[in-house]
Amino acid sequence: MIRSDIIRGHLDSIILCLILEKDQYGYEISKQISLRTENRFQIKEATLYAVFQRLEKRELIESYTGTITHGGKRKYYRITTLGKAFLKETVKEWQETKEIVDLFLEGLQCEK
């Protein structure tokens, strides 16, 4: 299990990336994160909905009510044009950050 504080700063981008692939609802996003990380990272429901609120407030995503399934209506999220532009910038920023960290940590032998 990875420390959640390492990923926390990237949650907005991770969720935007998933919503970019297709409109999704909260539980579906949560399951995708667990599945893709082979359960090495799981997002708490409260954290996920806090991210949704923050992204909606910044107009990076918008929500809508889907059709009725299994007796209830689901709230779906879709990425906005502003969200796509923001995601593009954060991907660039992540690539630069990763290159810098890799300069110091990639293949590091800490057993000296």
* pTM, two decimal places: 0.84
Q: Give me the chain's average pLDDT, please.
A: 89
Domain count across the chain: 1
User: Which of residues 24 and 9 earns the better pLDDT score?
Assistant: 24
User: For residue 67, what are the domain limits?
Assistant: 4-105
Tens of pLDDT along 30-83?
A: 999 999 999 988 999 999 999 999 999 999 999 999 876 677 788 999 999 999
In this structure, what CATH number is given to the domain that contains residue 42? 1.10.10.10
Q: Is residue 111 part of a domain?
A: no
Q: Is residue 57 part of a domain?
A: yes
Q: Could you tell me the two tokens for 51?
A: 């991210």
**What burial letters (b/e) apply to 59-79, b meaning 16+ CB within 10 Å?**
ebbbbeeeeeeeeeebebbeb
Q: What is the structure's pLDDT at 110?
A: 60
